[in-house]
Amino acid sequence: MQKLPVSLCAFFVLAIVLLLSAPAKLSGGVEQTGRDVRVIPVSGEVDPGMAAFIKRALAGPDNTPDTLFVLEIDTFGGRVDSALQIVDGLLELPTGRTVAFVRNKAISAGALIALACNELVMAPHSTLGDVAPITYSSEGPKVMGEKFQSPLRAKFRALAKRNGYSPTLAEAMVTAEMEVHQVKADGIVSYLDSQEYAEFTRNRPAGTFAGKIVVPAGELLTMDNEEAQEFGFSRLTAASLPELLEQLHIESPRINRISSNWSENLGRLISSVAPILLMIGLAALYTELKAPGFGLPGIVGILCLGLVFFNQFLVGLADYTELILFCLGAVLLAFEFFVIPGFGITGLAGFFCIGAGLILSFQDFVIPDPAMPWQQEIFTRNIFMVLGAFVIAVMAALFFLRYVFPRLSRVVYGPYLSASLKDSRVDSPAFGEIKIGDAGVVKTLLRPAGKAEFNNMLYDVVSQGEFVETGARITVLEIKGNRIVVARETLA
């Protein structure tokens, strides 16, 4: 048998190696192309609905360990407790997996969320900062005092240290009383508050450093994209998401934009009208208590209150404690409706349980933590909201019972009785046919009341206390209202 040339054998071996290695290289290339990028919009008011949405987005089942989360932020802020829930979710992720992209503004709670991400990128002309805690009263918005600012400053210091920002500048976003100085010495730029700056100048000869005020006292730190980059907060400026990913050197990214589903949108809508639903539900239940039996008002009341409560349960504010209180209150009210006549301690206990369950369902805590003073503010607001809803509900129910429900017969078909007693009076014509002194005959035994016949008509009469037998002759002594007093007729 003739042997193959060595060159030909080498060619066959090389071809086999290429064929076997080609699929492996191809599949390996598919696995390594790009990086998963999840884009999460953070727009509108920061509320429990947004916190629940971002929690779901961060914990998606299709997220890989290498997934990059880009939070597109455009918000004026909102509730502090909801922002802190979002921050806690971001801090649970490994370092290097979150980027805050400020598209327009990240104010107040939005700035807190932005600083919790590992990287911060801002679009041109966007703004960041102004995190002073405020409350609303009859006099308008009011900045909360040191008790509220202190824990927020501590949170901002922690986030700044974690991501390499200036803690002093981060605190200046919260407290307007701070004055921040920029100091350049030995090629190093530092940011110091007034006390630190005074100590620095005492220990440093004049002319060996350059300093200037970057945040005057009485102002909150609010930065545009250029200032944020100068102060070391923003890593870069990008006009769009593709430009951002390109500058972060992420090639061929697999972008998946997360959006809220219909249930989350419905939940945020219900949260916005929750006080109205609360008033309608309580008014309907109160109306049901005043009406006999159980009907449409009771069904409407249970549906409205149940809708509010279970929405809070879905967004994570209500738990099993609130669920037990709400269900116990519903059972007590049902017991009051169907078993016990009238309204008493069982109905009051039912309302109390439902009210307590509703108050707790609007917050993610039971007793306010003194270390988090905004919890006391939320707790007080929830109590007034529920009590105010109950008072307005009672007034509305009384109005409907007095003025609306009696007129429903004009628009709701009967059958109804057409006759009424509006023209009746005690001196009706029926008594005008007899008068004092008329004689009649007893038709039923008077003891002392009974019936007698006068002028071929029967009347209800009463004697003066004596019994008068049937057939006796009587005379009318007195007519008073619908009462006819008679006496036995005497012989002349």
Helices (H), 95-184: 109-116, 146-163, 167-172
Q: Are residues 361 and 304 in the same domain?
A: yes
Residue 382 to residues 266, 281, 358, 359, 366, Cα–Cα distance (Å): 21, 16, 9, 6, 12
pLDDT digits (tens, 9 = 90+) for 348-363: 888 888 888 888 877 7
Sequence-separated (6 or more) residues with CB below 8 Å from residue 436 = 476, 477, 478, 479
Q: Are residues 324 and 378 in the same domain?
A: yes
Residue 65: give the domain boundaries.
Answer: 34-141+227-257
The average pLDDT across 316-343 equals 74
CB atoms within 10 A of CB 31: 6
Alpha-carbon gap, residue 381 to 7, rounded angstroms: 89
Q: Are residues 484 and 367 in the same domain?
A: no
C-alpha closest to that of 135 among 385, 373, 370, 365 = 373
Q: Are residues 52 and 106 in the same domain?
A: yes
Alpha-carbon gap, residue 18 to 32, rounded angstroms: 21
Would you say residue 317 has pLDDT above 70?
no
Q: Are residues 116 and 16 in the same domain?
A: no
The average pLDDT across 33-48 equals 86
In the chain, how many domains are there? 4
Residues facing residue 454 across a β-bridge:
457
Would you say residue 3 has pLDDT above 50?
no
Would you say residue 312 has pLDDT above 60?
yes
pLDDT digits (tens, 9 = 90+) for 243-290: 999 998 888 888 999 888 777 777 778 877 888 888 888 888 777 766
Q: Are residues 306 and 439 in the same domain?
A: no
Would you say residue 7 has pLDDT above 50?
no
Q: Are residues 400 and 280 in the same domain?
A: yes
Q: Which CATH number belongs to the domain containing residue 482 in this structure?
A: 2.40.50.140
Pick the last residue of a domain from 379, 410, 441. 410
What tokens appear for 97 in the block?
Answer: 């997996």
Q: Are residues 247 and 132 in the same domain?
A: yes
Cα 290 to its chain centre, rounded Å, is 29
Percent of the chain surpassing pLDDT 70: 80
CB 100 within 8 A of CB 83: no
Residue 61 inside a domain? The answer is yes
Q: Are residues 43 and 125 in the same domain?
A: yes
Alpha-carbon gap, residue 17 to 24, rounded angstroms: 11
Residue 204 inside a domain? The answer is no
pLDDT band for position 13 (cuts 50, 70, 90):
very low
Alpha-carbon gap, residue 135 to 374, rounded angstroms: 10
Pick the last residue of a domain from 346, 378, 410. 410
Q: Which CATH number belongs to the domain containing residue 63 in this structure?
A: 3.90.226.10
pLDDT digits (tens, 9 = 90+) for 152-182: 888 999 999 999 999 999 999 988 888 999 9
Residue 379 inside a domain? The answer is yes
pLDDT digits (tens, 9 = 90+) for 56-91: 888 877 777 888 999 999 999 888 888 988 999 999
Q: Are residues 136 and 7 in the same domain?
A: no
Sequence-separated (6 or more) residues with CB below 8 Å from residue 223 = 127, 128, 129, 231, 233
Cα-Cα-Cα-Cα dihedral of 453, 459, 463, 469, to 10°? 40
Residue 307 inside a domain? The answer is yes
pLDDT band for position 25 (cuts 50, 70, 90):
very low
Cα-Cα-Cα-Cα dihedral of 449, 450, 451, 452, to 10°? -60
Residue 154 inside a domain? The answer is no
Cα 330 to its chain centre, rounded Å, is 21
End-to-end, the C-alpha distance of the chain in Å comes to: 170
193 vs 406 pLDDT, higher one:
193
411 vs 300 pLDDT, higher one:
300
Does the N-terminal peptide bond of residue 415 adopt cis geometry, omega within 30 degrees of 0? yes
C-alpha closest to that of 301 among 387, 391, 397, 401 = 397
What tokens appear for 325 in the block?
Answer: 């209180």
Alpha-carbon gap, residue 109 to 174, rounded angstroms: 11
Q: Are residues 350 and 293 in the same domain?
A: yes
Residue 168 inside a domain? The answer is no
Would you say residue 431 has pLDDT above 60?
no
Please report which helix (H) or strand (E) contains residue 129, including its range.
strand 127-129
Alpha-carbon gap, residue 318 to 295, rounded angstroms: 29
Q: Are residues 461 and 318 in the same domain?
A: no
Residue 87 inside a domain? The answer is yes
Question: What is the DSSP code string of 170-207?
Answer: HHHTT-TT--EEEEEETTEEEEEEHHHHHHHHHHS-TT
Q: What is the mean pLDDT of the chain?
A: 79
Encode burial over 11-25: b for 16+ CB neighbours within 10 A, e otherwise: eeeeeeeeeeeeeee
How many Å is the Cα radius of gyration of the chain? 41
Residue 182 inside a domain? The answer is no
